[in-house]
Structure 1
């Protein structure tokens, strides 16, 4: 059991890429972390609790929140990082594609956020952050991705709605809208082409995203914000 003064962050999709980077960033900030994904491995850090599971299933959300409260006594921050991104022409999306993307991106967000906010209300405050995509507001014909817009666009709308619903109760809600980030999701041979999608001429680094999330973490007067971290894509081409 940790010191009750220590803050606790729950991070979904935490086994690799941005999620793993966020685990490290929050530990560096002094938080205990509950890290969850389908393939998460046990951590040697006693202040990191790994919980395996499919975030699209309510049972996983229930186990993650219960484990956080049992082990660390609280939840101060939830980062909804878990996500599936598929790029293909709209008419080629299958029912399986739809179920997978909406299950993780939308249902997964809904279930764990609902439970985490219930705990935050008991504590008198908290913060949730959604990881979304700048393609929601700035579609690109080179990256057809309607399911990303459908699911992550819903998260951006919910981010603002939650910010207003809970503004007077100490809970902030924000989002970070990404460009294309160097993660294991993108093979290295595609990096040059992906870099060209961004006006700044490069892909984002995981540190670009963790810096943005930690800015929001420390920005107590910011809620309902959709922060673009996309190499200028939001500004135009």
Structure 2
């Protein structure tokens, strides 16, 4: 693989959004490391599939190490791995907490720490871009959705997006987030009665393509960092 080819790492790459992001970055000409708990299936020589549980210590180093061995560099990370557990707050269990914090926070930390270390090691030609997948529930609490653990963990991602954007601004590393409403994925394949559509001022659910457009815009916007880009059909603006 030529050293000039850019390389993206996508976590949660077996999911609807994650899998689409792999294809989208390949469409930009990037080589891609696709990682999930089970290695995503791909017959594309430009895609390296790595099985990794991002909640486990050492997973980030292993994914980044495999990427550097295969492709020689890392330019972009999209933290697509995430879980959503909806329950009344007092009904969350310790196991729920460990799961959601483990994937949404520990997983972010584990992979992003290793990726940024690799990015800044390429002084002179280094830098890169980190994109975090967040949720509009952080800023737009919804009485119809009991998602306190999502707000707790994704709110942390919004905060650290800005913090890292400033910390690494002079070293060529940009950090942004895409904050989502309800997207039509295998988790929400249909919308009986239009309940999910009605939660968005524009009157429809989001599509995976809406997410891809936002991520690829940020990828190709070198003057944008520390941005929380809302892809939520107007939810964050009000009802």
Provide TM-score, normalisation by structure 2. 0.96
Q: Which runs of 5+ in 2 are unaligned?
A: none
Q: Does 1:41 align with 2:47?
A: no
- Hey, what does 1:223 align to over in structure 2? 225
- Hey, what does 1:115 align to over in structure 2? 114
Question: After TM superposition, which residue ranges in structure 1, 4 or more long, deviate above 3 angstroms?
Answer: none
Report the CA distance shift for 1:112/1:230 in structure 2 as closer, same or farther (over 3 A). Answer: same
- The answer to whether the Cα contact below 8 Å between 1:131 and 1:177 also exists between their aligned partners in 2 is yes
Instruction: Tell me the distance in 2 between the aligned counterparts of 1:33 and 1:145.
Output: 32
**What is the aligned residue count?**
236
Q: CA deviation at 1:87?
A: 1.4
Q: Which runs of 5+ in 1 are unaligned?
A: none
Q: Does 1:210 align with 2:233?
A: no
- Hey, what does 2:96 align to over in structure 1? 97
Q: What are the superposed Cα offsets for residues 109-167 of structure 1, whole Å, 9 maximum, x if unpaired?
A: 00110000000001220100000001101110111111001100001000000000000
SS at match of 1:58: coil
Q: What are the superposed Cα offsets for residues 56-79 of structure 1, whole Å, 9 maximum, x if unpaired?
A: 112322211001000000000000
- The answer to whether the Cα contact below 8 Å between 1:191 and 1:203 also exists between their aligned partners in 2 is no
Q: CA deviation at 1:223?
A: 0.2
- Hey, what does 2:172 align to over in structure 1? 170
Q: Does 1:75 align with 2:77?
A: no
SS at match of 2:114: helix
Q: CA deviation at 1:195?
A: 1.0
- Name the stretch that deviates more: 187-196 or 175-184: 187-196
> RMSD of the TM alignment (CA)?
1.0
- Hey, what does 1:192 align to over in structure 2? 194
- Hey, what does 1:233 align to over in structure 2? 235
Q: Does 1:87 align with 2:86?
A: yes
Q: What are the superposed Cα offsets for residues 22-79 of structure 1, whole Å, 9 maximum, x if unpaired?
A: 0010000000000001123331000000101211112322211001000000000000
Q: CA deviation at 1:12?
A: 0.3
- The answer to whether the Cα contact below 8 Å between 1:11 and 1:36 also exists between their aligned partners in 2 is yes
- Hey, what does 2:141 align to over in structure 1? 139
Q: CA deviation at 1:189?
A: 5.0
Q: What are the superposed Cα offsets for residues 173-192 of structure 1, whole Å, 9 maximum, x if unpaired?
A: 00000000000012425472
